[in-house]
Structure 1
Amino acid sequence: MGKLASIRYDAYNSHMPYPSSSFDQNTTKNTIWSVSDLNQQARNCLESAFSGVQVEGEISDLIQHRSGHWYFTLKDDEGQLRAAMFSFKNKSVRFTPENGQHVILTGKLSLYAPRGSYQFITERMAPAGAGQLQQAFEKLKRELEEQGLFDPEHKKPLPSFPRQVAIITSPQGAAIRDIQTTFERRFRGIQLIVIPVAVQGDGAAQAIANAIDTANRWSKDNQAKALPATPALISTTNVSPDAIIVGRGGGSIEDLWAFNEAVVAQAIFRSELPIISAVGHETDTTIADFV
């Protein structure tokens, strides 16, 4: 773990001998400051000099206040830093922070005047491993794009009147309930065929790929029976889907990682059935979305 001194700068020219601000040392060195005025001046200097920076460390002394604000200490082996993340910012955090967790914070240094102590005002929080995962995501995305897996001409058109749709997801997750509700409301004549899989953890990516292959095999074998035209969840091999939905609810980049694996991308690419990727929230993007 690096030292707190190894803050990464986004908006501060680190070679400057001291931060630029409205503080004029020549004209104010003989000024007698009130405590509150000096604190305010120090706050202005800190926020001007250390805005948009990132710092990595371990969470400790986490307090989740009833107001919704989070207060905690960020530490490493040789230092610590008080930090806060206000409720209107922490609502966007897609994981539950815990003491002992390593995170990367983005925000600014400020000063809390009542105590005269400086603190880090957090605007974004991410698990420390997310940076490496994002790099792996971008690397695989480039490789698959070069291989032609994202080319538009390979995408299969959706059928105008699908009779059966295979749903590849966790049977216990929120995604299956949302999908079923949508079909009941808008597409009552379509049968839903659930192929249950784990959507995160060891083996999840291979399970998803296998399920895609299974749905294609069912369709190719053309084993469908005449089924009643009601939206129902069916778990049987005696079906013939016309399309596939692969999905899960939202989560962190770690939670969604199974859908960023090459084995899933390749299964989507070789599928003869059109596939809709319904992974995460609207703001989430996975490799499965591009194929």
Structure 2
Amino acid sequence: MTDPSFSDLRDTDPGHAETTLAPPGDAGPFVRRRSESPFALCVRRTVRGPLDAEVVRCTDDVRLRLASDPRHVVAVPLRGMLHVHYRGTEIDVMAGGAAVLVPSDEATVLVPADSAVALVRVPGDVLCEDLEALLGRTVVRPLQSGVPVPAATAADALGPLAPFLGDVPGPGSVLGNALTAEPLEEAILDGVLHAADEPAREALDATAPSWGPRAVRACLDLIETYPERPHTARTLADGAGLGVRALQACWQRHRGCSPEADLARVRLARAHRDLAELRRGEATVASVATAWGFRPEDFTDRYEARYGHGPEVTLGSPAFA
């Protein structure tokens, strides 16, 4: 996976912001002032591999026009709500929801004042590759785009990703760390496939086959030997010569959990070892958590549940090693 690139645009001039938001050849208005209070627009973008993720925040109403984008576009409210005009219909997307907009049709996303939206653009060929990896077989290309996906349908698949999408920009973010970025990328792709109205994705609801424990044992050995590598369900399945869903079914059958759960278990043990070996001042709980692919805000709860005390107790205290 290629290294991510980041951009951060901030504007306090509504007139200049109009120019920033307008697609080529389009005219505003793209900003509607709500008051005489100071204006601020922030557009932060991360491009990592095939995914293009953008977070837009503004003190005033903003209109974003997606002009015939050839990619699938996922709109997820991070704060507040969104109002989407698409294919002659209007969709209100509330917090915890999402909308998937299929390619080649214009859409307008209205972001109310003091709200925030994450827009993630995904090429169709990448979705095909992900679907093939999940199923372990080829599918007809290109995927056939269906009707726009209502927020209620997309919410189950994509709404839970909102906290992670809100952390999109920056080298220290989820997408800036390979251990967290690659699983998030797969989660977004899987979420789009489950939410979008694609005939081929119906196979995702079918029961996945499972086999003996050999493939699981080989993958588990890889995880335990090289936990610092950016393993994902897809990379493990590729190595085992299985589809992702088949490997997950095997794992559940023979381990009673998911591959991701075992990976988190092994990495948590390595983080515990590091905390015990390091001295205060050499590292922080947050830096160790991030190095092993955990979000610091989730790490403490996981750690306490496993070891019975907080990670800050272990840091610099060999007695807890």
Normalised to the residue count of structure 2, the TM-score between the two structures is 0.23
Q: Larger Cα Rg: Structure 1 or Structure 2?
A: 1
TM-score by length of 1: 0.25
* Structure in which a larger fraction of residues adopt strand: 1
**Of Structure 1 and Structure 2, which has the larger fraction of its residues in helix?**
2
